Amino acid sequence: MSNALVVVASRRASQGIYEDTSGPILAQGLRDLGFSVELKVVDDGEPVAEALSEAVNRNLELIITSGGTGLTPRDLTPEMTSRFIDKPLPGIAEALRFDGITQGISMAPLSRAIAGISKNTLIINVAGSAGAARDAVRVLSPILLHAIDQMKGGDH
């Protein structure tokens, strides 16, 4: 069984002001693929980097972040993620944005989400809404297991 972490970057959810809805959607989607999943809700910025560092050092195979990919001053998830990326995978983030565009989500191009590999961990940023989480599960489900298999030396 592959191990995954979903990190929700949200100041308000981390403070208990409201309950996050995106993280559980992502976590369930990964469980449906056979992943053992942990879910962590943290504040924006450095707490995201701390969660990523811990998970990469634990050799988790997959981390999906939710939130912090927009244009506000607190949206720093791509910057935190880029600290860890050894091998960028721009096609994954491009696929998520393209899917949003084709779904008629006119603001999808404003997402600054990135994806890549850190050591032996695949990291993918996803926008922080329930709709973005559902779309991400649909777009990513066909490729995640194959990507992780390739990271471990599997064939194309």
Strands (E), the chain: 3-9, 36-42, 62-66, 87-88, 115-118, 121-126
pLDDT-based confidence at residue 1 (cuts at 50, 70, 90)? confident
Percent of the chain with pLDDT over 90: 96
Instruction: Please tell me the predicted confidence (pLDDT) of residue 33.
Output: 97
- Report the topology of domain 3-151: Molybdenum Cofactor Biosythetic Enzyme; Chain A (3.40.980)
Q: Which two tokens stand for residue 112?
A: 């600054």
Distances from the Cα of 81 to the Cα of 63, 98, 101, 115, angstroms: 10, 21, 24, 8
Which residues contact residue 120 at a Cβ distance below 8 angstroms, ignoring those fewer than 6 apart? 59, 61, 151, 152
Greatest pairwise CA separation for the chain in angstroms: 46
Compute the average pLDDT of residues 103-130: 96
- Mean pLDDT, the chain, whole residue set: 96
pTM metric for this prediction: 0.96
Q: How far apart are CA 14 and CA 17, in angstroms?
A: 8
Instruction: Please tell me the predicted confidence (pLDDT) of residue 108.
Output: 93
